[in-house]
Chains A and B, each alone.
Chain A
Amino acid sequence: MAARLRKAGLPYALLIPGLGWLAIFFAIPLLYMLFESLKQGTIDTGFIFNWEFSNYTNALSDFSEQFLRSFEYAGLATLFALIIGYPLAYVIAFRGGRWRNALLLAVIVPFFVTYLIRTLSWETILSDSGFVSDTLRTVGVLSEGGRLLDTTFSVVAGITYNFLPFMILPLYASLERIDPRMLEAGYDLYGRRRDVFLRVTLPLSMPGVVAGTLLTFIPAAGDFINAELLGTPNQYMIGNVIQSRYLEVADYPTAAALSFILMALMLAIVVLWARVAGTEALLGTERERR
């Protein structure tokens, strides 16, 4: 009896430390932030809690530009990452042969360098008197006073670069798992290469596309490092606003309201995207149930 009781309690005992940590330092902080977001006042006069819902409407109307820009940049970066990453993942998965591990290593090599330094490297590459700018000016693609740095282009390029491995790895994982006999069957039925790709390979790799786009889009939309280092205030995203409201202006209510709006939008997108793509693999629940 006692043994059975102990057995029933064991999973909960194993769960408590980890989930407790997440509860105290992830879930409860969100409640504090909710509380914070409904306060009124300034850092000088102090903040009072009085259900100040206008923080949300003001945050949305004051920073709608940065919100839209965040989603635009993140969407563009995700699209570019998919366009750049899918063929590469495909080539590694189907033609990598004995080089497969080496090629995968090359994909994650950027992660061996700190995020900020990778971004600084782009600042070096795109700088005004750098090699790339000079060449483009000589060729005439870039006008005499034209710049690569501090533009929408540089910020989106930086975001695309920084999150590209997050796109490639899940794509590779799902492509690699495809049973070659499936493709074989497609060809045996006289499918042309395009048909086999569109009707067999692509649908079978959809879980990877879904995971990859989410893993790219989520961090991209909340990013502020690329906009800060590779852009100007004209390229600032919602992350820049949140971080400066919190850490520089000390306007906690607005920053908290903005954070909540961002998080809610993200969760909505994740759930919707997962539904549309019809995959539960994302939550890791699908395989365990079997």
Chain B
Amino acid sequence: MEARTAPAPTAQREAGVPAARGPRDRHRGGSLLDLGLNFYALLALVYLLVPIAVILVFSFNDPRGRFNFIWEEFSLDAWGDPFGVPGIREALVNSIEIAALSTLAATALGTLTALALVRYEFRGRAPINFFIFIPLATPEVVLGAALLSLFLNNAVATGFGTIVIAHIMFSLSFVIITVRSRLIGFDRSLEEAAQDLGATPWQTFRLVTLPLIMPGVLSAALLAFALSVDDFVITNFNAGSTVTFPLFIWGAARVAVPPQIYVIASMIFLFTLAMMLLTVWQQRRAERMAAVRSEPEEA
């Protein structure tokens, strides 16, 4: 098989097929190795998706005991009453409020920092880059425990406020890195053009820079929001008596796992999935329209 495929690209190129498409086409051959690799990848996908399917399925379960671990019978009870477990609504509201506040702050602070890091030459940039990286390389337990040390030593009562502080802290590095990667390919001449046309620095930023980096800022904000809603470890250290959704689950996991937990998880899942699909669909539509427009040129 290998001997047969090796000279193929030359033949393809002579036939006028673009070389760039070569390797991908070659892999489409139905050899045993190809099939095996595809099957293996499929298994990996199944591994990724089965636990999610289990959550969706078990949200319709009517468990006998306190733990929703064994399938008994189909029931819509939990979906009909998703907040039927005391405390779950408050926990969810807390999570969303904390995520909104910390996302707003972390995105603003992180975008400014990223701008400074990419746009300007100044002393100390390399160590600052390293400093921003360290929180990412630090285990969450350590981040949480260290912050608690600060609060303990200064007699700060932990609660809603300290959770927001913690979430801004751990989101910042992610935001900075996300926005920075968007800024790296940024065309400075666009800003120069704006300034040549008499725009003030603030106008340049608001009308040129910000719209151009907006996709990066938005994806950073989404990331920060997701990290915040999902965080358990650092929150656990700095929550005091405030309960977020992950903390609620943790508390529940030891005494009882009602199907409502799976229902709310399913709701969040379906909502996020719908949002993602909408974005992907829009992107594809935009791409398709762009392709239609540029087609005469390509041909």
* Residues of A that sit less than 8 Å from B by CB: 8, 10-12, 14-15, 17-19, 21-22, 25-30, 32-33, 35-36, 84-85, 87-88, 90-92, 94-95, 97, 101-103, 105-107, 109-118, 120-125, 127, 129-131, 161, 164-165, 180-181, 183-184, 187-188, 190-193, 214, 218-219, 221-222, 224-225, 229, 239, 242-243, 246-247, 252, 255-256, 259-260, 262-263, 266-267, 270, 282-285, 287-288
Contact = CB atoms under 8 A, between A and B. Distances in A.
Contact of B139 (A8, A116, A221, A285): A221
A123 B6 contact: no
A263 B142 contact: yes
A267 B246 contact: no
Nearest to B201: A10
Q: Which of B27, B69, B173 has the most CB of A within 10 A?
A: B69
B130 to A, nearest CB: 6
Interface of B: 2, 5-6, 8-10, 19-24, 26-28, 33, 37-38, 40-41, 44-45, 47-52, 54-55, 58, 68-71, 108-110, 112-113, 115-120, 122, 126, 128-143, 145-150, 152-153, 165-166, 168-169, 172-173, 176-177, 180-181, 184, 226, 229-230, 232-233, 236-237, 245-246, 249-250, 253, 257, 261-262, 265, 268-269, 272-273, 276-277, 280, 283-284
A106 B48 contact: yes
B38 A91 contact: yes
A92 B37 CA distance: 11
A114 B245 contact: yes
Given A15-B128, A288-B118, A21 B150 contact: no
B145 A187 contact: no
Nearest to A237: B141
B251 to A, nearest CB: 10
Contact of A130 (B69, B139, B261): B69
B106 to A, nearest CB: 8
> DSSP majority for the A interface?
helix
A192 B6 contact: yes
A113 B150 contact: no
6 contacts: A35-B153, A121-B55, A188-B10, A266-B137, A266-B139, A284-B133
Nearest to A131: B71
B20 A181 contact: yes
B265 A14 contact: no
Nearest to A188: B9
Given A33-B145, A115-B230, 17 more contacts: A17-B112, A19-B131, A22-B172, A22-B173, A26-B135, A30-B146, A101-B284, A109-B49, A111-B226, A114-B229, A124-B58, A161-B48, A180-B19, A187-B8, A259-B141, A262-B142, A267-B137
A169 to B, nearest CB: 12
Q: Is the interface of B mostly helix, strand, loop or mixed?
A: helix
- A-B complex: 4 closest residue pairs judged by Cβ atoms: A222-B139, A18-B113, A14-B116, A11-B120
A87 B44 contact: yes
Contacts of B237: 243, 246-247
A19 B113 contact: yes
Given A25-B169, A247-B237, A130 B70 contact: yes
A270 B133 CA distance: 11
A26 B20 CA distance: 47
A252 B148 CA distance: 10
A25 B163 CA distance: 12
A114 B230 contact: yes
Contacts of A107: 45, 48
B169 A184 contact: no
A191 B261 CA distance: 54
B116 A180 contact: no
A101 B136 CA distance: 27
B23 A112 contact: no
A27 B112 CA distance: 20
A218 B137 CA distance: 7
A109 B50 CA distance: 11
A117 B149 CA distance: 29
Determine which residue in B48, B68, B118, B133 has the highest number of CB atoms from chain A within 10 A of its CB, and name it. Answer: B48
B16 to A, nearest CB: 15
A46 B138 CA distance: 29
Contacts of A124: 54, 58, 68-69
Contact of B51 (A110, A116, A256): A110
Nearest to A93: B24
Contacts of B40: 87-88
A92 B41 CA distance: 9
Contacts of B272: 112
